[in-house]
Structure 1
């Protein structure tokens, strides 16, 4: 080791190399022992900061080892006999150099790391976020109101000359090159935006978690090591990371609103049919809607001026808060929604929600029938090539017959009429998602149903919904949703600016 200032304290070198050997062997027990116990121990990297020994230990236990490397330089700055800073330059077996900085302290049980930061060469292309990237991938056609903006396009939209991947390698391998742009893509290009690239989606856009079984989980920079939210997860992460300014996605049952909430973004699900879905791979045609995400409300509205049809405006903005809906969220999320509603003078109103679970079941039946109708012929012989969660949904969808679908459509029709009646000309304030982003690896089954009870309202009735970013008391992102009558998309976009 190269030293500066004071001599290297006894035992530090041995502890450092014991740590390095354990790291290369993925010896979690030794690594846990060499990191100081307690809630103040720190470990940071490009994905975020872990605080406390328990968080660090859980991360190590789940990551499955670290890339092989060798130490090429070490430098020690001794603070005193019991504290020292060690900086090591590393060379990865796969190529490239990184750096590791550790603060060591001598304890009664020997030397322990109290804080560490690791840097490694970044990938040329983060394939968790992107399938294709260019500089740009497709230049703007325009000039126009979106000059200088860049778009991450969810991999269900047609981009001329490229294939639709739909989040599944087998589908991508068989896909054709698209002869035209999707209409929404074309309008953005004509307005002056360029396409930064094609962003990952969960398989066939049939998920809300943000974890693709084949390509992994796009990062959530606002809540590190937590889910990005799906299925527009890649587009959301690209915007959150600043790699694109607009994330073009779809929202069938929350796939814009959930990632917006999990990552602290603005997002809109448009009125069903208001923005063109031409040349967009369908999941469930009765519910699929165009949507987009941005980091600020002003740009969210400017995109709406491009993608939404002109129409009459309704400046009425009476806000309504429904405790029965807010109460579906976890307490820390509900507290944010209640505070927002109170701050902006929302009236509290009681709704009869006893039929909500039945409405959701009918929605899921129709969604499954339509997904199988459009995709089942391709999926049926390839179930083994689909990730387990989405595969299970397709397997269930295959069992839905026409009679069941027809009966479910009747329920959906009644639900749609009732929801529209309840909303009226007001703007309903509710949670965008019932929880903060779950930790990666956590069981998501219960959370999915709770989420759909909230997000399904807009889907059932074809309503526009705008998600606004919030933050819980613990500092994690969450979302407040504004829900309005069909066709009031522009009103909501204007209101989003006024309320933030």
Structure 2
């Protein structure tokens, strides 16, 4: 027996221990839900003799995305051609080594999107892992297999790579915890890079205590007195873009905070406005028009910058693979990579300026043990084979919230809050760069109360859903009206958008948003919203007037004249419409 076990140990330079490596391809997708690429057992060192304490991760098992180096093993990087054209690794990733030395046992490598470049979890070469939380929906990527392995209870925790959301997004879709550490807080050595200035080694778990224990090993965080947050900041505008009602998302967090720390620690903020004021370099990007937009929100601009950085750095590292990459990726991702690879110095410098200013802005906002609360994602997981993931709106919604931590380099944890309409709900907590241990401690403190409040919210008034939606829409509209009066046009648009999502057949909501768009100079949006208001209510005088105003500014003078004229037919005493119609009549004389 002793000689047999001696043959199984292979020294990998871990000092105190050896590691037994056994690999085998999995033949059946069903037995592991498609999460694993290979079985690869990495055994921890023997336990120290008493009275010394056992290893901190003893009895825990884990898996990791198939892009970490393991001595003698060839990673797939999500693509079979990569595996067949690269040599086995000569050493093991420090992150993996640290976990094994700490007593954890690795059970295998897990699937990623091809070249870890994607957010869907789909891989045409190895299949799409089944989402245990919602089997008919995508698991999210790029670290899809690592998330599924935890969600299905195959392992206690797992490691993945989070570049633009590769850990946070599948955590949200699979209803588990996901942690993206501060940039460079965990060593990047021994991983295949996707985007060197955005990549982080993140991890998944179901138990916040396990998430925290793993963090202490990977972060090499010194022991410190645990302290609660001095302030919890709710990004109200970000939650307005969610499909999930506020009482199932931000309100759950608010109630848990009040119960644990008191109402005085709560603060509300419009994050878009804050970023716009603190990151002036974004103005350089604001001239970039998307679908005719004259002005793009700060978070959408951040998302554009994030995708630009990823595309540029991926090209620098893997230029020889670009022809292979594009056909094999999801169409939504391929569209990004079809962009030019020749990047101007000005574009690179501007992205550096945005990142520097964003780091300073978030660190300033979250200094002195403060926490920022945002939704992890705006939409539910896409259907298997669904086309919504291809839409620009879906991509924009998805990346907007994810870009905050990716660009600023701060740490973020995704927290599941049960289900709404059969789909997972989650929120995220963010702390300043370097506040990783504080964030993990805060999660540990809040988790149980958050789950209790989420459970209460899920059971409250299920029969009055329609009424509550209408009431919530009216509340959002009134908030929008107040923001409009305060000349906070973008904030007003956010509130009106929330009202429209809750009740999409109300002409007033579209009409009010059209007026806010006019104030911003977003005339195409104003025209579109006015048209929707008219389709709902053919006698809406204000909608005709606002559409006429938008069309006049766009140079559609004949159509604008018709709108002003029809407004006068409906309301002959409308002096503004009469003046506008007369002004345009003179153009035709």
Relative to the length of structure 2, the TM-score reads 0.61
Residue 444 of structure 1 corresponds to which residue in structure 2? 389
Residue 315 of structure 1 corresponds to which residue in structure 2? 227
Residue 214 of structure 1 corresponds to which residue in structure 2? 125
In 2: Cα distance, 1:333 partner to 1:222 partner: 22
1:389 shift after superposition:
4.2
Residue 432 of structure 1 corresponds to which residue in structure 2? 376
Residue 268 of structure 2 corresponds to which residue in structure 1? 348
Greater mean deviation of Cα atoms: 294-303 or 413-422 = 413-422
- Check 1:412–1:228 CA distance in 2 against 1; reply closer, same or farther (3 A cut): same
SS of alignment partner, residue 136 of structure 2: coil
In 2: Cα distance, 1:460 partner to 1:274 partner: 15
SS of alignment partner, residue 178 of structure 2: strand
| 2:143 maps to 1:232 | yes
In 2: Cα distance, 1:334 partner to 1:157 partner: 40
- Of 389, 393, 411 in structure 1, the residue corresponding to residue 354 of structure 2 is 411
In 2: Cα distance, 1:386 partner to 1:226 partner: 19
Residue 372 of structure 1 corresponds to which residue in structure 2? 315
Verify the 8 A CA contact 1:203 1:390 in the aligned structure 2.
no
SS of alignment partner, residue 290 of structure 1: strand
Residue 79 of structure 1 corresponds to which residue in structure 2? none
- Check 1:429–1:384 CA distance in 2 against 1; reply closer, same or farther (3 A cut): closer
In 2: Cα distance, 1:210 partner to 1:381 partner: 18
- Of 126, 129, 138 in structure 1, the residue corresponding to residue 42 of structure 2 is 138
1:305 shift after superposition:
1.2
1:138 shift after superposition:
1.9
Residue 326 of structure 1 corresponds to which residue in structure 2? 239
- Of 19, 35, 41 in structure 2, the residue corresponding to residue 129 of structure 1 is 35
In 2: Cα distance, 1:449 partner to 1:254 partner: 13
- Of 376, 383, 407 in structure 2, the residue corresponding to residue 460 of structure 1 is 407
Verify the 8 A CA contact 1:333 1:434 in the aligned structure 2.
no
In 1: Cα distance, 2:38 partner to 2:385 partner: 26
1:384 shift after superposition:
4.2
Verify the 8 A CA contact 1:368 1:397 in the aligned structure 2.
no
In 1: Cα distance, 2:138 partner to 2:247 partner: 20
- Check 1:127–1:165 CA distance in 2 against 1; reply closer, same or farther (3 A cut): farther
Q: Write out aligned runs for 1:289-304 (5 A).
A: 289-304=200-215
Residue 428 of structure 2 corresponds to which residue in structure 1? 481
| 2:110 maps to 1:165 | no
Q: Write out aligned runs for 1:142-157 (5 A).
A: 143=47, 144-157=55-68
Residue 88 of structure 1 corresponds to which residue in structure 2? none
Residue 516 of structure 2 corresponds to which residue in structure 1? none
SS of alignment partner, residue 354 of structure 2: helix
In 1: Cα distance, 2:352 partner to 2:72 partner: 37
| 2:182 maps to 1:182 | no
Verify the 8 A CA contact 1:251 1:291 in the aligned structure 2.
yes
Verify the 8 A CA contact 2:300 2:396 in the aligned structure 1.
no
Higher helix share: 2
SS of alignment partner, residue 132 of structure 1: strand
Verify the 8 A CA contact 2:228 2:442 in the aligned structure 1.
no
1:423 shift after superposition:
2.9
In 1: Cα distance, 2:139 partner to 2:326 partner: 25
In 1: Cα distance, 2:60 partner to 2:77 partner: 24
- 5+ long unaligned stretches in structure 1: 1-120
In 1: Cα distance, 2:225 partner to 2:163 partner: 25
SS of alignment partner, residue 331 of structure 1: coil
Residue 507 of structure 2 corresponds to which residue in structure 1? none
Verify the 8 A CA contact 2:299 2:403 in the aligned structure 1.
no
- 5+ long unaligned stretches in structure 2: 1-26, 48-54, 259-265, 276-296, 448-589
Verify the 8 A CA contact 1:209 1:230 in the aligned structure 2.
yes
| 2:497 maps to 1:497 | no
User: Per-residue displacement from partner, 1:1-24 (whole Å, max 9, x unpaired)?
Assistant: xxxxxxxxxxxxxxxxxxxxxxxx
Relative to the length of structure 1, the TM-score reads 0.71
In 1: Cα distance, 2:46 partner to 2:404 partner: 37
1:303 shift after superposition:
0.3
Q: Write out aligned runs for 1:190-269 (5 A).
A: 190-269=101-180
Verify the 8 A CA contact 1:127 1:215 in the aligned structure 2.
no
- Check 1:381–1:207 CA distance in 2 against 1; reply closer, same or farther (3 A cut): closer
SS of alignment partner, residue 249 of structure 2: helix
1:382 shift after superposition:
6.1
SS of alignment partner, residue 313 of structure 2: helix
